[in-house]
Amino acid sequence: MIEVRDVYYTYPNGFTALKGVNLTIRKGECVAIMGENGAGKTTLVKHFNGLLKPTRGTVVVDGVDTRETSVAQLARKVGLVFQNPDHQFFSETVEEEVAFALRNFGFPEDEVERRVEKVLKRMGLLEYRKSSPFSLSGGEKKRLAIASIVVFEPEYLVLDEPTIGQDYIQKVEIRRVIDSYLETGRTVVIVTHDLEFVVDLRPRVVLMSRGRILADGKAEEILSDSKLMDDASLLLPQMTELAYKLGNPKIPRTILDENDMLEVVKPLLKHRGVWRS
């Protein structure tokens, strides 16, 4: 469990990025943190593995206060994948890049080899194992960055903007990784602007704005609330927007995507005899 209690954070330059954040993330949950640029999303997740320590308040990961332990120890539990893959590659080959964290955490060499192979296969990068990380395409780089963290199977996987600049096929791949991670009973936290991706994933949604948490709840409740979404400078999902515009009492506004819409509209059309299946 990650417990964030009344956390304030002020950067050395005087900017206060977090102003009294309270948040509890339980094991096995899938959480999306959303909000405008500069809302404090990345600052918040950097507290999860101790890269930043709260100016005021506490962050407790599985019973351990982040102030009383090292980043390396927390990183073993909370795997943080950064936005820009170019900020981490340095090895000559893809497999060395993936093995880096395992070696830092002192895994035995045969285990390193086994895990590297397994994760590269899962990420569809096995054929590049001897290539340079810098020769990969944008999407492959992103997957390699995720692989370099997933490989040590942290209890909590935190992805900062995983879908930014990715095409549809890459997004499907990333979604697959998230699903298989959740299947093992582990926790996934994503920081994102990608409304489509979140609508599809249906996680618990935490809405942030100007260093505070505006709302926290099911995707259906949060993403369809026009007032909340407006406060967080986010647009409503297209289908929700349509439901609002239809203004029909039989069409609820908690609709998020085309499947929700279909479910509601189908009986209405059938009733009028317009529907042909």
Partner 1 sequence: MRVFEGLRFRRVPSPIHELDPRSKAVYVAVLSVLSIVYSDPLILAILMVMQIPLVYIAKVMRFWLNSLRGSTFLAVFIFAVNLLTSYLYMGGFTLEGLLTATAMTLRFILLMGVFSLFFLTTTPEDLSLALEKLRIPYDICFAFTAAMRFVPDIALEAQSIMDAQKSRGLELERGGFIERIRKTLPILVPLFIRSFQRSLELAEAMESRAYGAIEKRTSLYELKMARNDYVFMILSIILLTATLLIKPP
Q: In angstroms, how far is the first alpha carbon of the chain from the final one?
A: 47
Beta carbon of residue 69, minimum distance to partner 1 (angstroms, whole number): 12
Rounded CA separation 215/228 (Å):
8
Beta carbon of residue 59, minimum distance to partner 1 (angstroms, whole number): 15
Question: Measured from the CB atom, is 81 or 261 closer to partner 1?
Answer: 81
Q: Find the binder of partner 1 among 10, 16, 88, 131 (CB under 8 A).
A: 88
Rounded CA separation 91/129 (Å):
12
Alpha carbon distances (Å) from 267 to 253, 271, 275: 17, 6, 8
Contact between 164 and partner 1 (CB under 8 A)? no
β-bridge partners, 79: 157
Segment (H or E) for 2? strand 2-10
Contact between 90 and partner 1 (CB under 8 A)? yes
β-bridge partners, 56: 8
Residue 76, Cβ neighbours under 10 Å: how many? 18
Beta carbon of residue 183, minimum distance to partner 1 (angstroms, whole number): 24
Spell out, one character per residue from 122 to 151, where the chain touches partner 1: x when CB under 8 A holds, - when not.
------------x-------------xx--
Contact between 49 and partner 1 (CB under 8 A)? yes
Interface with partner 1 by CB under 8 A: which range of 88-96, 116-124, 200-208, 249-257? Answer: 88-96
Beta carbon of residue 263, minimum distance to partner 1 (angstroms, whole number): 41
Contact between 15 and partner 1 (CB under 8 A)? no
Question: Measured from the CB atom, is 160 or 173 closer to partner 1?
Answer: 160
Q: Find the binder of partner 1 among 46, 143, 186, 204 (CB under 8 A).
A: 46
Least Cα distance to 47 among 71, 81, 29 occurs for 71
Are 120 and 147 in contact by the 8 Å Cβ rule? The answer is: yes
What is residue 186's three-state secondary structure? Answer: coil
The residues that touch partner 1, with contacts defined as CB under 8 A, are: 46, 49, 51, 70-72, 75-76, 79-80, 82, 84, 86-90, 100-101, 104-105, 134, 148-149, 152
